[in-house]
A and B are shown apart, each in its own frame.
Chain A
C-alpha cells in the first residue's frame, strides 16, 4: 500500500507542484500570523527547519535565526533559492539530517498531502527526530471542519486551473459586490495562493494588513473567514470547473476494503466506481451544459456546493462513472494503474489500461471523469449516475488536482499522542480552517 500511496502522491501532489511552480512565483502568498509568531519567538541563534517550505515565504521571517528550507519540489526550491534562501530538495519521510540538530521545525500545509496515516505518522516522527530535546514543532494542516460547514469526506482532490491562475494575475481590480469569497480554498495557500480561488491580486484594494505585514495582497484564506469580503470577480470565469470537486476513498480505507473483499469476489466494474471516486454534485443542477447562470448572483453557493450542508436539502452523493482523462502536454494525467487498485480503488483492470505516466507510450486509456448532476433541482437526492456527457472542465488539460487528507478535530493531536511518544502536545487550535498544533520534544530524564 505504501507504493500506491507514493504513486498517488507522485501524481496528485508532486507532479502538480512541479508543473505549477512557475505560477506560484507570480502569486504572492500569505504568511500565517501564528507561524510568523512562532518563528519570531525562537531564541536568537536558533536553527530552524521549514519542512515543505515551498517558495520559502517563512525562511526570512526571523533574521535572528538560521532557517533551512526543504521541499520535495525542485522548481519551488529553485524559486526560494533565487530569493536568497538556504534551501534543499529532500523528502519529509527521509530527512537528510543528523539527529537533534534543530531547535525548531515548522510543517505548514504539508502532512495533509500524505495519503496514508502511516506516512503522516512517519513524516511527524522524522521531524521529531531532528529536533533537539525541548525543541518545538509547529504543524498546520487543512481542517475538515471549515467555518459553518465541513468537507463531506476527508480525502479530497482539489482542482487547480492554471489558466485561471494566470488570468487572475493579469486582472486589475474587479468590481466588489460584498459577497464572501466563501469557497473551500486551500486555506494554507501553500506557496502561492489558493488552489481554487486565486484571490491574490496585485492591485487588490483590500488589504489584510492586520494579518500579515509582508505578505502583500490578502489571500482568499484570509477572506474565507471574514464576512463581507469583496467578491472575487474571478468566479465569473470559473464556470463549472471548481464545482467538480473530487473526493476519494482514502487509501487506508481501500486497504481495509480489499482485505474484506478477498473473502468475496468482485462482481462487476461498477462496484469500484460506486465506492471510490464520487463527485460532489452542484446543488442547483449547475453542471448541465445549458445552465450557465452567472455564479456571482448566488450567495455563497460555491461554498455550499462542495461542503456538506447541515440542512436536509443537500443532495446525496452521486456515483460517477469514473474514467481517466488523458491530458495533453504538461498536464497531469490521472492514471489508474492496471490491477493495482490504487487510488481509484478497484482491482478490476478490465476497462482500463495503464495510460502510463510519462510520454505518449502505448494506448492511452481514454477515460474521463464525468461530472454528474441530478436532473431535478436541488433536494432531490437522487442516487444514480446521471451522466450529462463529458464536461469541458474536467477534460480541461489545464486542470491539475492536488490530493489532501483533511483532518478532523482532534485527529492531528490524536495522531501525535498515540504514535509519536517523544513529542508532547503543547497547544492546538483552529486557525482559519486549519488545525494548528505545537508539540515539544520531550527531554530525557537520565
Chain B
C-alpha cells in the first residue's frame, strides 16, 4: 500500500462519517519500490494531497526529508517533486494495520493489500 493510497482511505464503520479520516497507520514491514519519476504527474498530485494525513503517516514510518507542505512554485522545483514522488509512490507498506480513529476498528494490510471489508454489523445501512 502506497502512502498516496493511504491518503485517500477513510473508515466507513457505521456512524463514523468524516471522523474516519485519516486512518492510523502501523507498519511491520515496509518496502521501497523504485518508481519512474514523472515530474508533471507528481505536480498534479500535490493539490489532491491531504497534508496532515500524509505527514502523520510518514511520521509513523519514520520517513525523513518529507516536505511539510507545498512550497511556492513547487511545480518547477525538482527537488521538492522528487521527495514527494518518493513519499507518495515509492514507500510501500507490505504488512501492517490501518485503524479507524473514531471506532478503533483495525483493517489489516497483508502482502501490500489493505482489506477494508466490514462486517454486517459495522456497515452503514
Residues of A within 8 A of B (CB): 2-3, 6, 43-47, 64, 66, 68, 72, 74, 77-78, 81, 86-91, 93-99, 101-102
5 cross-chain pairs, A with B, having the tightest CB-CB distances, nearest first? A45-B44, A96-B116, A90-B116, A98-B10, A89-B115
Residues of B87-125 whose CB lies within 8 A of A = 89, 107, 111-118, 120, 123-125
In the complex, whether B32 has a CB less than 8 A from a CB of chain A is no
Provide a sorted-by-A list of 17 A–B residue pairs whose CB atoms are within 8 angstroms.
Answer: A44-B40, A46-B44, A47-B8, A47-B48, A68-B5, A72-B117, A74-B113, A86-B1, A87-B113, A88-B114, A89-B113, A89-B114, A89-B116, A89-B117, A91-B123, A96-B11, A96-B116
Instruction: List the A side residues contacting B113 at CB < 8 Å.
Output: 74, 77-78, 81, 87-89
Q: Which residues of A contact B125 (CB under 8 A)?
A: 2
When the two chains form their complex, are residues A74 and B115 in contact, meaning their CB atoms are under 8 A apart?
yes
Does B12 interact with chain A (Cβ within 8 Å)? yes
Is B86 part of the contact surface with A, judged by Cβ < 8 Å? no
Query: What are the residues of chain A within 8 A of B18 when measuring CB–CB?
Result: 98-99
- Rounded to whole angstroms, the CA-CA distance of A264 and B44 in the bound complex is 63
Most A C-beta atoms less than 10 A away, residue of B21, B44, B111, B124: B44
Question: Which of chain B's residues have a CB closer than 8 A to the CB of A78?
Answer: 111, 113
Interface size on B, as a range, is: 20 to 34
| Cα-based distance from A68 to B5 in the complex (angstroms) | 8
- The closest CB in chain A to the CB of B118 belongs to A94
With A45-B44, A88-B1, A98-B8 given, can you name 16 additional A-B contacts, CB distance below 8 Å? A3-B120, A45-B42, A47-B45, A47-B48, A66-B4, A66-B45, A81-B111, A88-B116, A89-B116, A91-B116, A91-B117, A91-B118, A95-B12, A96-B11, A98-B9, A101-B8
Complex Cα–Cα for A99 and B117 (A)? 18
Of residues 53 to 84 in B, which have CB atoms within 8 Å of A's CB atoms?
none
Contact A93 B123 (CB under 8 A): yes
Q: Complex: how many Å from CA A194 to CA B121?
A: 35
CB distance from B70 to the nearest CB of A (A): 14
Q: Would B8 and A6 count as touching, CB distance under 8 A?
A: no
Q: What 1/0 flags go to B14-41 for Cβ under 8 Å of A?
A: 0000100100000000000000001011
Q: A88 to B40: give the CA distance in the assembly, Å.
A: 26
Assembled-state Cα–Cα distance A90/B21 (Å): 16
A268 shortest CB reach to chain B, Å: 34
Cross-chain contact B44 with A88 (CB below 8 angstroms): no
Out of A2, A45, A101, name the residue touching B41 (CB < 8 Å): A45
Which B residue sits closest to A74, measured CB to CB? B115
Q: Pick the contact of A96 from B12, B111, B112 — CB < 8 Å?
A: B12
* Chain B residues with CB below 8 A from A64, complex form: 38, 41
CB distance from B64 to the nearest CB of A (A): 23
- In the complex, the answer to whether A90 meets B117 with C-beta atoms within 8 Å is yes
User: Nearest chain B CB to A98's CB is how many angstroms away?
Assistant: 4
Question: Complex Cα distance A97/B125, Å?
Answer: 17
Name B2's contact: one of A81, A86, A98, A101 (CB within 8 Å): A86
Complex formed: what's the CA distance from A87 to B12 in Å?
Answer: 18
CB-defined contacts of A88 to chain B, threshold 8 Å: 1, 5, 113-116
Closest residue on chain B to residue A2 by CB atoms: B125
**Complex CA distance for A64 and B40, rounded to whole angstroms:** 9
Which residues of A sit under 8 angstroms from B4, Cβ to Cβ? 66
Complex contact B112–A81 (CB within 8 A):
yes
- Chain A residue contacts of B120, Cβ below 8 A: 3, 6
Shortest Cβ distance from A361 into chain B, in angstroms? 21
